Amino acid sequence: MILPARIDAIEEAYEFFLGYASQGLSTESVGVRNHLEKFDEALTGLGELLAAEVGGTGLDAAAFRPFIGVIERDSSDAQAAIRMVLAHPTIHSQIVDNLNANIHVRALLTDLFLIDEMLKPRS
């Protein structure tokens, strides 16, 4: 999966979770596991993909390397939370609300927004 598709999958899942959490469901609704699985998939190997993307831009890869390390840690931490939630038999709204509020998920989102903006070509 290419970087824009991964970022889109992560954003789409997060936005779905915001709506899901606000519903106050005590049972699991259709689609929540699918979004969690896509989120999980998008995080796997993300650091390696980012390093390759930066390498292909002509930007100073050494300047990006430490931040890619931050993204790898944040994505690993967020992925741990996502996998724990996926293991639960019923993913109700309060669980998703707590996942959305998780600092690792939020940090990952802002990390990705920053590096995505940095990698966009400028005229």
Domain that holds residue 13: 3-119
Measured CA to CA, the distance from residue 45 to residue 123 in angstroms comes to: 30
Q: Do 105 and 99 contact (CB within 8 A), yes or no?
A: yes
pLDDT tens digits, 32-85: 999 999 999 999 999 999 999 998 888 899 999 999 999 999 999 999 999 999
CATH code for position 93: 1.20.120
Closest to 80 in 3D by CA, of 48, 111, 46, 104: 104
pLDDT tens digits, 75-118: 999 999 999 999 999 999 999 999 988 999 999 999 999 999 99
Q: Other C-beta atoms within 10 Å of 3: how many?
A: 17
Structural domain count, the chain:
1
First to last CA, the chain: 26
Q: Do 112 and 30 contact (CB within 8 A), yes or no?
A: no
